[in-house]
Structure 1
Amino acid sequence: MKQIRLAVLSLVILIVSGCGSARYGRDALLSQDIGEYYKAIELYKKARKKEKSRTKRIEYAYNIAESYRAIGQYEYAAQNYKFAIRLGYPDNEALLRYAEMLRITQDFEEATETYRTYLDSVPGDQRALDGVEAMRKTQEWVAYPTRHIINPIKEINSPQSDFAPVFVGGRDNEVIFTSTRKAATGKKESMIHGQKYADLFRANFSVQRQKWQQPKLLDETLMINTGDEEGAAALNSSGEQMIFTRCRYDKTQAMGTELYSTSQSRGSWSEPIKLEVVGDSIIAAHPALSPDGSVLYFVSDMPGGQGGKDIWMARAEGSSYGKPVNMGSVINTAGDEMFPFVRDNGELYFASNGHIGMGGLDLYVASKNEDDVWIVNNMGSPMNSSGDDFGISYVTGENKGMFTSNRKGSRGDDIYSFMVPPKIYEVEADIFDNETKARLDGATVRVIGTDGTNLKVRARNGNFKMKLKPETEYIFAAFKDGYLRDKAAANTIGLEESKDFRFEMFLTPTDAPIKIENINYEFGSWELMESSKVALDTLVEVLVFNPTITIELMAHTDHIGSDQFNFDLSQKRAQSVVDYLIEKGISPQRLVAKGYGETWPKTVTRELAKQYDFLKRGDELTEEFISQLTPEQQEIAKAMNRRTEFRVLSTDFIEKFDAEPER
Structure 2
Amino acid sequence: IKIQFEEQTIVLSSRRTVKTDGLTVGNQFEVELMSGRVYRAVISAPGYEPAEIQLDYRGAIPSGRTDVRTVYLEPIRPGPQTTEDGRIVPGIVVDAKTGLPLPASVIRKFVGEEVRAVTEVDRNGEFAITVQPGEGFELEARSHGYATKKIHFEESGLEKIRIELEPQGEPCDQGVPECIDNVRIYFALNSSEISAKEMKKIQDMAVILKKNPDIKIEVQGHTDRTYRGPEERAFQYNLVLSRERARTVQQALMKLGISKERLVVKGYSYLRPIVQAGDALKGAVNRRVEFRRIREQ
Q: Please give the range of the TM-score, normalised by the shorter of the 2 chains.
A: 0.3 to 0.5
Question: Which of 1 and 2 has higher RCO (CA within 8 Å, sep 6+)?
Answer: 2
Give the number of the structure whose residues are more often helix, by fraction.
Answer: 1
* Greater gyration radius: 1
**TM-score by structure 2 length?**
0.37
| Alignment TM-score, normalising by the size of structure 1 | 0.18
